Structure formats: C-alpha cells, structure tokens
Amino acid sequence: MVELKNVSVTYQTTGIQALNNISLKVNDGEFAFVVGSSGAGKSTLIKLLLKEIDATSGVVTVNGYNLTNLKRRRVPEFRRTIGVVFQDFRLIETMTVYENIAFVLRVIDAPRKYIRKRVPYVISLVGLQDKASSYPRELSGGEQQRVALARALVNDPALIIADEPTGNIDPELSYEMVELLQGINECGTTVLMVTHAHELVRHFGGRIININSGSIIFDEVVGGNYEA
Ligand code: ADP
C-alpha cells in the first residue's frame, strides 16, 4: 500500500517545489498509471517512494513503513518490498540474463536452492526461457526490458514501480510491458506504472493519476478503448 498525506518536496538547491501538497492512496492489489509531462514531478514521486529523498513536509507510508521516521539501517529491508523497473533497465552487461536476475537474490544471501528454483520461474513469467544464457547486448530492447522486469519480480515484492522508457524506444514495448504488468498485478502485486504516453493509458484504461506542476490534477478510473 502506498499512502501520501499532504506531501510536499522542495529541492533545497534550487528552491523548486517539485511536489505540492499531494495526497494519494494506492491500495494493495491495485494497478495505477501515473502520468504527467516532463518536469511534472513523476521522478520525484518515485524517489520519494523508494526513500531516495525525503518529503519536506507530509507523511509517506509504503508497504507498512512510515518513511518519515524510518531508521537508516532499516532502509534496505524496506526497499526489498519494492521491485523497480528503471527507464534505462540497468542490466549488468557482463552477466547473462540468468545471472542478472540471480544476482539480486545472491546479494541478500538467499539460499542457493531457492535461487535455483526462483530464477527460472521468473524468467518463464516474462517469457524469456530461451534467452537465459544470453547477454544483454544480445537481446532486443523489449527483451532487455523483460529481464529488468524479471529482476524486479524475483524478490516477490508487494509493489512494482515501472518507469516507462522514454526516448527512441519502440512504442510497442510499452504495450508489451503493460500487458506483462497486468498479468503480474492479477497475481496480487500492486503496480504503479509511470508514463508520459497518454495514448497508452487511453488504450488500457484503469486508474490514472495525472500530475502537473507538482499537483495531482486528476485521479480517476477510466475505461480503456481496446477489446481484450
Ligand atoms: P518528471 O519526472 O515528471 O519529469 P521531476 O520530478 O524530475 O519531473 O522534476 C520536477 C521538478 O523538480 C522539475 O522542475 C525539476 O527541474 C525539479 N528537479 C528535479 N530533480 C531535481 C534536483 N535533484 N534538484 C533540483 N531540482 C530538481
């Protein structure tokens, strides 16, 4: 569960108020799109939810952790409740698909037996069974994105945050990503997908949270325009 109560973020260096008195609640098991143009405050919101930055005022609660008074030594434990798919995927080029995903579990000292079971399972969830031994450079953009998603999922997080790739990436990728995330959401994981692609959101529909200049200007469930 994600809850923000009257949250503002002001960057001290520039004095810019990136988020302006935001209140928001996303329940367990929900799927929500966060949309807004460049500079709206989307990245600031993600950083806040990961406790990479702190709110200047207000209360942020994520997966039962009150981030305002969360002790520094408990931050890693908190972060393990969230899986993040970064815009730029952040795969390790010298590791295969399997190793990229297994690495997440190795660093937290998961039992080897569990790793051997869990990694092939998440690889199959994203449909990359045939690519487990490939290196990132041998994969298409879509496949790399699916590795990034498998890596975000491997720890069985309560919440997935997906930051949609921007730039010259094939728009088809975003559709594929939403379909994968919807499947994962149906198994009970809460999903927040951050995007600037309004046509994508119109296509799928669902809960849409629109941020503009640091404020929520729209937060409603809308119907999509596609036939499932
Ligand atoms: P978005 O992700 O929607 O493009 P951001 O959250 O990155 O928007 O930015 C919101 C506002 O905060 C913008 O005006 C941006 O210039 C400013 N901003 C973002 N990061 C920083 C930072 N580290 N220091 C100062 N200002 C920042």
From 20, 42, 43, mutation site for ligand 1 pocket: most ligand atoms within 8 A of C-beta: 43
Q: What is the pLDDT of residue 227?
A: 57
Query: Is the same domain home to 2 and 28?
Result: yes
Ligand 1 atom at minimal distance to the Cα of residue 37: 3
Query: Is the same domain home to 150 and 41?
Result: no
Residue 86 in domain: no
Domain edge (last residue) among 125, 156, 187: 156
Query: Is the same domain home to 77 and 102?
Result: no
CATH code, 168:
3.40.50.300
> In what order do the strands lie in the sheet containing 159-163?
82-85, 159-163, 190-195, 31-35, 206-212, 215-222
Query: Is the same domain home to 180 and 68?
Result: yes
Query: Is the same domain home to 95 and 196?
Result: no
**Residue 45 alpha carbon to ligand 1 centre in Å:** 10
Give the residues surrounding ligand 1 with Cβ less than 6 Å away: 11, 13-14, 16, 18, 36, 38-44
**Residue 224 alpha carbon to ligand 1 centre in Å:** 30
Ligand 1 atom at minimal distance to the Cα of residue 19: 10
Print the domain residue range for 5. Answer: 1-81+158-228
Name the closest-CA residue to atom 14, ligand 1. Answer: 39
Q: Per the structure block, which two tokens stand in for 97?
A: 């698909």
Domain edge (last residue) among 156, 183, 200: 156
Number of domains composing the chain: 2
Name the closest-CA residue to atom 12, ligand 1. Answer: 18
Name the closest-CA residue to atom 27, ligand 1. Answer: 11
Q: What is the pLDDT of residue 166?
A: 65
Query: Is the same domain home to 105 and 166?
Result: no
Query: Is the same domain home to 74 and 35?
Result: yes
Per-residue pLDDT of the chain (228 residues; tens, 9 = 90+): 999 999 999 999 999 999 999 999 999 999 999 999 889 999 999 999 999 999 999 999 999 999 999 999 999 999 999 999 988 889 999 999 999 999 999 999 999 999 999 999 999 999 999 999 999 999 998 899 999 999 999 999 999 999 887 655 677 778 888 999 999 999 999 999 998 877 888 889 999 999 999 999 999 999 888 655
